[in-house]
Chain A
């Protein structure tokens, strides 16, 4: 469930896996309601374009989150006055985001710890 760890030079594009995408969507929506395209753009922008979401995979993920009642959806008009569906974080979603974030941080820390001695041996 992890994006492969690597440096920016080694790889231009990092594939995202399901669980991570959900977390990223929730985190992105914390800033406020957004429509689908804006969500991908925000993720790409905030990761300095390292994380490239396969844009289509966003939609099944959004519906999955709706079904779990972590996000809600409503009709609205976008910045250029076009009709669009806006996704927003629900109270349940906020709680889930906290849980997922903690889980992610512990996981990342644990993996980093395992990887560190390997790096020094290599030198």
Chain B
């Protein structure tokens, strides 16, 4: 810009000069000085326009310079195609996997709901705080609201054209369908109107459908359900379907693109007022203190999100007056798959860790490219020095070099992004369709959109600048005299800052690689441990079947009757030696917890609990160490509990736990009648956490696990169990699981993370060893003369190789140490997935660094050995 200003000043001088000459000419012709000046100005035309036009000519110059830079850059890149291709591939790989993972994250967390004008649809969550004691019945998500709260918000707000509420993921069994449960939505009757999703067939809900609780058994089906279960019957409208033993009349079929507003697609929608019909004996509509409905509102045109918040806050404040013990604040956000605070609290750290891990790989790839460019830059040092000494501005040269690296990164970034966009969509679909069978399909859209494009662009530009800046700065800061005279060779142990940079980069690569590999190593160790660990109970030969009878339309008496008959039938099955029931099956990832108190103390002790029948302990081989087992006469009314050994020790150290009293959060007294052996029944790898057992009561039959010990093959047992259940209820949804499969629930996340970080780590290792190899071979090839001199002066070949090796290993060792320390600091994040081995497992922390170092030594040794082939006679003569 400074240059521009100077040029403009010069132009003004020139014009002034011109006008003076012309005026003088006119005066010489006999004009008066005033006339002469006027005539000169007339003849010249508008001075301002002339300046503008000239300025335009210059601007074009700048644009043309840029174009020149690009053309020159392309030529330079074309001159060393192998370096160029290697760099482009490295960047494509790095950017590609980052863009890919981001498109998945984007589909999960950033995409708006797939409904018309989704930007207007807001999600409203409550954040409840209790002053002192208080609790709330939380069904799905603590941010959800109760029916009465919803009606309060709906009827008293001034900012929404409509506010809908729905219970997502309500499970139901469809009579005549497969025995798998289907997911549906219990929706307020304005649901479809608020979302502006009009059914493809039939009608959606009208207000009358919600007028009487339990009175309007109507349903809207999803397009997929209509197609798969009803053969796309065009006359489906008006026909009945049976959900959880209750007939519903189909009134509509949703649009094929609409599967609800949750990650897991909805198969059907019924009015929310039908809740107690779908789940008998369980009237949520009447419960004012329950979180079970999600809220979505469509803002009236012209209202900002802050105005919406303010308006709803007034309603929340009124609510706080009504319930003095608690206070409600609201979280209002544009609706996405994950918009409640609870979900975001989980999603944001997890996704940032994943994105960071992927970004680390990109960083390594970048570092390699930087190394390549640095190596090339030192070859081009002479060119740069020549240009600088001929008067080229340093800024201009940096611009030229940055243009080159941006060209590289753009080529790599575009290639990577295109591949990622083509690959990750099918990949995600593949993964989703190969998830465990009891996992519902997901409506995850990983297709690229504006966010993904922006991310890819940002990443690409950032990459280009990141790896281009250092070599650009480096090579334009040449010592002109030296570079012009010299032949471009350096001593092996050169102190040049370029050499230092190269080493620092390799060191950081090793550090990053170490972190990724160590994480993978720790997780793999955890997996191995989980595979070999003894859970403390007999896990083989046990089958579990989860019966959620309440969700299948059973009330409690029916459920009790059903379970009694069912267990009788199971006892009669061949090979079945024991049958028991429990509220939570061991390791099934279902858990209940309560805060207990010792009499006379005010601290609440969190203890997990389970309701079990007397047969539970013997079936699982958990022995009662002291006291007695439950009797079959004991139910919820009995005050008996059984605690585990570690719990007893923690609560009553060195005293006899039998007969001791515990108070639950409701204040009921419970008496310890027995002590059971420790077992990992709730968390894999943890057997000593607090745990106690209650006796099983008839209430538990509505939702319980039936466990059997079998002698025959699992397949036959599962089949006969299913047959037994279906002989009583043809439409019952039942699945039978081998108890060992529950271990998989625990291992799966760690397997996924270990796989992810392992493959990233291997990728990093590959890139990293290329980096080390490149650094060493570069420095050997550049110091052939020095090696030659050393050899000629009588140095031992082995000493030379050792010298080269040591020079190369220094940055590797330092980077490795930094990586180990870093991983030691962050590995606590992984503890929840490691099942009992510590976050600083010595085996992983010794084995992985050794492995990495040996790879590094290998990568160093190959080029270093070439130093031994140096013939002093040849190298010294080629001067």
Chain A interface residues (CB < 8 Å from chain B)? 35-37, 41, 52, 54-57, 59-60, 63-64, 67, 82, 84-85
Contact = CB atoms under 8 A, between A and B. Distances in A.
28 contacts: A36-B14, A36-B17, A36-B18, A37-B17, A37-B18, A37-B21, A52-B43, A54-B43, A54-B44, A54-B45, A55-B18, A55-B22, A55-B43, A56-B15, A56-B44, A56-B46, A56-B47, A57-B53, A59-B14, A63-B54, A63-B57, A63-B58, A67-B57, A67-B60, A67-B64, A84-B14, A85-B10, A85-B14
Contacts of B17: 35-37, 82, 84
B212 to A, nearest CB: 84
A64 B59 CA distance: 11
Given A36-B14, A37-B21, A59-B15, A64 B43 contact: no
Given A36-B14, A37-B17, A60-B54, 18 more contacts: A36-B18, A37-B18, A52-B43, A54-B45, A55-B43, A56-B45, A56-B46, A57-B45, A59-B15, A59-B50, A59-B53, A59-B54, A67-B57, A67-B58, A67-B61, A67-B64, A84-B17, A85-B10
B14 A56 contact: no
B656 to A, nearest CB: 100
A83 to B, nearest CB: 8
A64 B54 CA distance: 8
Of B18, B43, B47, B53, most A-chain CB atoms within 10 Å: B18
B61 A60 contact: no
Of B44, B46, B61, most A-chain CB atoms within 10 Å: B44
B3 to A, nearest CB: 14
A57 B64 CA distance: 23
Interface string B22-46: 1001000000000000000001111
A102 B61 CA distance: 28
B45 A55 contact: yes
A64 B53 CA distance: 10
Interface residues on B, range: 20 to 34
Interface string B47-73: 101100110111011001000000000
Contacts of A85: 10, 14
Nearest to B15: A59
Contacts of B49: 56
Interface string B320-336: 00000000000000000
B11 interface: yes
A97 B586 CA distance: 95
A44 to B, nearest CB: 10
Contacts of B14: 36, 59, 84-85
Contacts of B47: 56
Given A64-B57, A67-B57, A67-B61, A59 B11 contact: yes
A67 B58 CA distance: 8
A59 B58 CA distance: 12
Nearest to B51: A59
Contacts of A36: 14, 17-18
The dominant DSSP class at the B interface is helix
A41 B22 CA distance: 9
Nearest to A53: B43
Nearest to B24: A80
Contacts of A60: 50, 53-54, 56-57
The dominant DSSP class at the A interface is helix
B59 to A, nearest CB: 11
Contacts of A63: 54, 57-58
Of A36, A54, A55, most B-chain CB atoms within 10 Å: A55
A85 B7 CA distance: 13
Contacts of A35: 17
A37 B22 contact: yes
Contacts of A37: 17-18, 21-22
Nearest to A63: B57
A102 to B, nearest CB: 26
B137 to A, nearest CB: 78
A14 to B, nearest CB: 14
A35 B21 CA distance: 11
Closest 10 CB pairs of A and B: A56-B45, A60-B53, A56-B50, A37-B21, A55-B44, A63-B57, A56-B44, A54-B45, A60-B54, A37-B18
Contacts of A59: 11, 14-15, 50, 53-54
Nearest to A84: B17
Contacts of B21: 37
A35 B22 CA distance: 13
Contacts of A64: 57
A52 B22 CA distance: 14
B417 to A, nearest CB: 37
Nearest to A60: B53
B529 to A, nearest CB: 73
Contacts of B44: 54-56
Nearest to A65: B57
Contacts of A55: 18, 22, 43-45
A96 B64 CA distance: 20
Interface in B488-533: none
A85 B13 CA distance: 10
Contacts of B11: 59
Interface in B705-733: none
Contacts of B10: 85
Contacts of B54: 59-60, 63
B123 to A, nearest CB: 58
Contacts of B58: 63, 67
A52 B42 CA distance: 12
Contacts of A56: 15, 44-47, 49-50
Nearest to A83: B17
A54 B11 CA distance: 17
B869 to A, nearest CB: 51
Given A36-B14, A37-B17, A85-B14, A57 B61 contact: no
A19 to B, nearest CB: 15
A64 B64 CA distance: 13
Interface in B394-427: none
A29 to B, nearest CB: 16
B26 to A, nearest CB: 12
A84 B25 CA distance: 17
A57 B11 CA distance: 13
B41 to A, nearest CB: 10
A57 B49 CA distance: 9
A88 B47 CA distance: 24
Nearest to B43: A55
A84 to B, nearest CB: 6
A107 B806 CA distance: 76
A36 B64 CA distance: 26
Contacts of A67: 57-58, 60-61, 64
A57 B51 CA distance: 10
B46 to A, nearest CB: 7
Nearest to A67: B61
Contacts of A54: 43-45
